[in-house]
Structure 1
């Protein structure tokens, strides 16, 4: 059978096939293969007859200018029905030949399986038998051959590796040998399949499309033989360029069809354009703020930022690397998120490993604040006001550029509030599930998240009870919410029990007790008026008087309009943090200092969380004022812009940054900076014994490799090193001997023979001592 097929370049594979029957249609594109095509076809014919497999061989002559066309016509005449000759009058390329062959196999045969191969004698029909057996055993929809030993020159093998890597990266295609011309495919995967790839791009496109719908695709090795006749065209520069261009086009088609990079497609056409624009603007602001604070050297001003980075780095690089390095005091999620970037020493040392988490959280927080306040107020100006007040607050801008954990908590809380409010208003279980996931993340970020969990659970219970008036429905809603949202709290207690033998270690352990931070005679402790004044001033310094005033006015208006109806309870949730922190100060659980009360700043950032309800209620206020104004669109933009700019300008700088800068200027930190500089210049990377607690600045800024640091989190190694550092192979020892604040290394080793007999004192300044082993440490 001879067919003339000059099809359009990007035509689909058409199907008008009879019901499938057992058998194989072998498709062979051929171009200038006069010396190979007859032997290849005869090999398949004889093998398939011997095996008793019904078959047809479709050979597509792609406009060859030699005797290829005449040879396949002769074969079609000699084997009617078993060989089908198809001709392109003009050369259209390998991709077009494959499309023509597949279309012919589907339209002219009824066989259930289709083999795509080449006509150049580099493959043998015997492998088809093994592929069919493997396909049946694996119950697969397709079997992709890979060349066990590729019989090609090294340049062609190198090109193939690069091509396969590129295809897998872009299209995520299965298989280790993308362009192997031996693929056995069930016809059901090929029906109505549209292919557009040219040259070598047709093969990865085919794999990408048939693997995108849940098909089972497996691999099997095939033999590959040297080409004895004819010329390979795949390595020509023109063919390579055509393949690369076509691969780019195929990639674009996959994105268009949502088979690959669906997130990019959704990003280009977001369901909520307003929220997308707000998020995009937040990205730009986040980067600009990071660059500003980096240029001024403020990224690591907080000692706690050093600590968070150290924990993340130790998870991936320490003498006892692993999840146990997360410890049991600070919650694990920020460190787990920062750990992958901490693998890169440069990103760890400059703080970006942790700042990246904060910056991403900032964008999420701004985007969902916009959505939440817009939904609450019924106008985009309300959402823009809330987002702007949060996004442009100087304290937020500074903390989002650091490795601190506040921004991750804020993002989790805002996402939780948004979806919880949507559930209260609409009752969709999806929103309740998303809210529970966000609360779970919050409970694994900071302990304020545990309070959020309790408040959110109470709102869920009250809303469900009021909505259904039945305890069974209330119980069901609580189970749906609490099973996920409460897992973080229970999981952290279980972790502390497993690691430290005490489920409450996070609160009362050696490095968690409040007495470590709350000094005797703390003004807030036992004095409720002082605690209230302190937290009120801290909040006011963080928010600014204008933002606070807008928030209070919005809260009053909201309370008048909505009162305490169950579907409108969520915005009140974040207000609970004011009495929570006042209680924490009053009972001495945590310290917070402001200049007006204590003459200094400490933990003043605790007041920043009140910006969330202030921004939401301010957004509600602006959103409700807009309908009262003429020229609403322009007026709305002007009102929102004026509120945000005015309130932001009213914030008296970044009090959170002031606190960090003041601490770094203290005499304590000056001594730490001096020894850190000395260690950077003299430390040779040898094993170092150094307590981390209260030495975080030295540990981080000295840049001693974390992989060589033995510290209290090294567990058994730490105990052995304290007992006999020389026997443990310790080459360097750092100790802090500040009166009343001596570290464990000084307590264990000062004045002992273990120290004096094997180590020389090489640094002695400001009650900081560094010792170096006389012999470089034990072998």
Structure 2
């Protein structure tokens, strides 16, 4: 019998529910993606970052100049791009956006399984709970997460939230397992802590919210060990074991700092990069001004977005459960450490908004509230399990409690908004983006496979055009401010550039290159002529 668990709690066969989760989530994800793609072939690419992540993954193999490590970049953490690398090499998956689904939907399903296991283990420690209810409550919690339309959409796109959530929730599960085994006196508990540290390291290579996790992990481990030593019942954690936990959990951060130092001469280049870093973008947008050092505004925006993403019933249930948890079951079995760990990532988001790095409005960046989901799901499981006897002993009433938690999902679909989808569609319809898509499609119809396409638009517009064109990335000669040193930029007629795409309103990193050829247009006109033009773009072909 595993340490500290109520007798019989894990005699229940959970494999059926795990299998059900995999089947339900996979089918729902595929059906959702196919339906949305049938309605609009760009539905999985509404987020501009989704296309950019796919391009970043494919550039590791398919790029004109120096494919591989040179294309990792500095601002976005690399692990999601490594995961996307192989599916994005398949043209049909890449240009449709389904390459992102292969990674994100798998991550969504596995995250839900971890949530199921966490909830089941937490509930098994609650006094007087009906053991047979545990699998059903845990299953309901996992489905509350996976079937939420806001997170289902993220789970079929190439955004980084889904893989991050996998490693974040996975690390929480293995931390809980270690605490259980350690407090129970098991001699084999270190393996769980090592796996937890590895998951934390992976999370730190997906999103910067993960960078706070090693701190929470080390504090949780230290408190657990000190507490057991006070009871004189602790197993020894060797110096070597402790050092391994620290090194492994911090290895992702150390790798990224070292990579930036070696490639850019600045270990913090990812935080300082002009145009691309979160701080740089925040400084150049008005959103920051309403949030920095204004806690009321931050909590208001975050809170309203959370209500729209989860529904008021789930949030209220989680709040009630937390109060009940503190009053009745305290920190038994590591639950307190678990809840603190699950709160780490959303706390990071809120703090980043307060200090002027993070940005969120209604519904801009609404996807950030997904980080709150694991905490809410575990608390929702506790809420269901702590119902009064009159409800707990009546299957119909208990089903009504669960149904109330799920009621928001169809309401969100029917009446909206699905805030993550609203955010993505807002960006897709913003300013020049629809015309960039149109220009990319036109470029694809013009390009005959001869030579390369020089593109001077800035990164964001460039990526929209590339994906919409259906042209292999190695056939593009990308020009941004940092690549104007190239001979092909100064004298494109001396290279194999048969087509040139120029933006009239380029992104920040494309302003200088576009201005250069605006100032030297007479020289360019000696070798190229306009074959397509709209209010934002011009396509030139070699004369």
**TM-score where L is the length of structure 1:** 0.60
Q: In the alignment, what sits opposite 1:608? A: 370
- CA drift of 1:359 comes to 0.5
Q: In the alignment, what sits opposite 2:254? A: 490
1:595-627 Cα deviation digits (max 9, x unpaired): xxxxxx311111222122111100122133387
For 1:498 and 1:471, the matched residues in 2 are separated by 41
For 1:614 and 1:474, the matched residues in 2 are separated by 35
- CA drift of 1:308 comes to 0.7
C-alpha contact 2:282 2:356 (8 A) present in aligned 1: no
The answer to whether structure 1 residue 310 and structure 2 residue 72 are counterparts is no
For 1:549 and 1:641, the matched residues in 2 are separated by 13
Please state which structure has a larger fraction of its residues in strand.
1
- Report matched runs for 1:530-609 at 5 Å: 530-564=297-331, 567-568=334-335, 569-594=337-362, 601-609=363-371
1:292 to 31, 35, 46: 35
The answer to whether structure 1 residue 348 and structure 2 residue 105 are counterparts is no
Q: In the alignment, what sits opposite 2:186? A: none
Distance 1:373 1:628, change over 3 A: farther
For 1:703 and 1:743, the matched residues in 2 are separated by 25
> SS at 2:60's partner residue?
helix
Please state which structure has a larger fraction of its residues in helix.
2
For 1:315 and 1:712, the matched residues in 2 are separated by 18
> SS at 2:492's partner residue?
coil
Q: In the alignment, what sits opposite 2:9? A: none
- CA drift of 1:733 comes to 1.9
C-alpha contact 2:278 2:358 (8 A) present in aligned 1: no
Q: In the alignment, what sits opposite 1:769? A: 538
For 1:405 and 1:321, the matched residues in 2 are separated by 22
C-alpha contact 1:317 1:707 (8 A) present in aligned 2: yes
- Report matched runs for 1:79-228 at 5 Å: none
Q: In the alignment, what sits opposite 1:337? A: 83
Q: In the alignment, what sits opposite 2:466? A: 699
Q: In the alignment, what sits opposite 2:268? A: 504
Q: In the alignment, what sits opposite 2:131? A: none
- CA drift of 1:630 comes to 6.0
For 1:712 and 1:457, the matched residues in 2 are separated by 44
C-alpha contact 1:381 1:622 (8 A) present in aligned 2: no
C-alpha contact 1:725 1:754 (8 A) present in aligned 2: no
For 1:471 and 1:718, the matched residues in 2 are separated by 61
Q: In the alignment, what sits opposite 1:690? A: 455
More deviation, 315-324/350-359: 315-324
Aligned length: 498
2:23 to 280, 284, 295: 280
- CA drift of 1:538 comes to 1.8
Q: In the alignment, what sits opposite 1:177? A: none
Residue ranges of structure 1 left out of the alignment (5+ in a row): 1-269, 595-600, 775-779
> SS at 1:395's partner residue?
helix
The answer to whether structure 1 residue 625 and structure 2 residue 387 are counterparts is yes
C-alpha contact 1:735 1:745 (8 A) present in aligned 2: no
> SS at 1:743's partner residue?
helix
Q: In the alignment, what sits opposite 2:407? A: 646
1:323 to 69, 72, 79: 69
1:734 to 497, 501, 512: 501
> SS at 2:387's partner residue?
helix
Distance 1:693 1:471, change over 3 A: farther
C-alpha contact 2:444 2:470 (8 A) present in aligned 1: yes
Q: In the alignment, what sits opposite 1:760? A: 529
> SS at 1:750's partner residue?
helix
- CA drift of 1:740 comes to 8.3
More deviation, 365-374/381-390: 381-390
- Over 6 Å off, 4+ runs: 713-718
**RMSD of the TM alignment (CA)?**
2.8
For 2:401 and 2:368, the matched residues in 1 are separated by 27
For 1:417 and 1:526, the matched residues in 2 are separated by 30
1:311-336 Cα deviation digits (max 9, x unpaired): 11111111122132121111111111
C-alpha contact 1:326 1:332 (8 A) present in aligned 2: yes
Structure number with the bigger relative contact order (C-alpha 8 A, sep ≥ 6) is 2
